[in-house]
Amino acid sequence: MDDLYIDNTPSTPEIKFEKSGNLSIRGKSLPEDPKRFYNPLFKWVEELNTDNVDIQVQLEYVNTSSSKRIIELLKKIDNNSKIKHVKMNWYYEIDDPDMLEFGEVIQHNLRRTKTNYVEYDDEE
């Protein structure tokens, strides 16, 4: 299993998934075909075999179809029995309560993941 890196585009986020368990999703997520974009991530997560996973999510914008895939992906990580501990830092801009709420909705769908909400100011 190799690390997975997908460069960002104007409509897709940057993905850095390391086999060590450090996972990062950053940018905008509004691909034309979210299933096609996210499917390689689902397959990669199925093969992930590590004790600890540390997830960093910093999304600027997510369309509805992407939000469903992101929730499914994070649930798949949360349900992976090979992983003992899952932590997630959910970043949201100080003036973006919708992104904070999206993070809270996701946390509500997870059983084991410990989530830390990180507020930031993009203008700093």
Tell me the pLDDT tens digit for each residue of 55-70. Answer: 999 999 999 999 999 9
What pLDDT, on a 0 to 100 scale, did the predictor assign at position 122?
A: 76
User: Which residues of the chain register pLDDT less than 50?
Assistant: none
d(CA 53, CA 9): 25
From edge to edge, which strands make up the β-sheet containing 4-6? 4-6, 14-17, 22-29, 52-62, 85-93, 114-120
Q: What is the pTM of this model?
A: 0.93
* The CATH number of domain 4-120 is 3.30.750: yes
d(CA 76, CA 23): 13
What pLDDT, on a 0 to 100 scale, did the predictor assign at position 124?
A: 53
What pLDDT, on a 0 to 100 scale, did the predictor assign at position 59?
A: 96
pLDDT (tens digit, 9 = 90+) per residue, 39-53? 999 999 999 999 999
Find out whether 105 and 68 touch, Cβ atoms under 8 Å: no
Residues linked to residue 25 through DSSP beta bridges, in sequence order: 15, 57
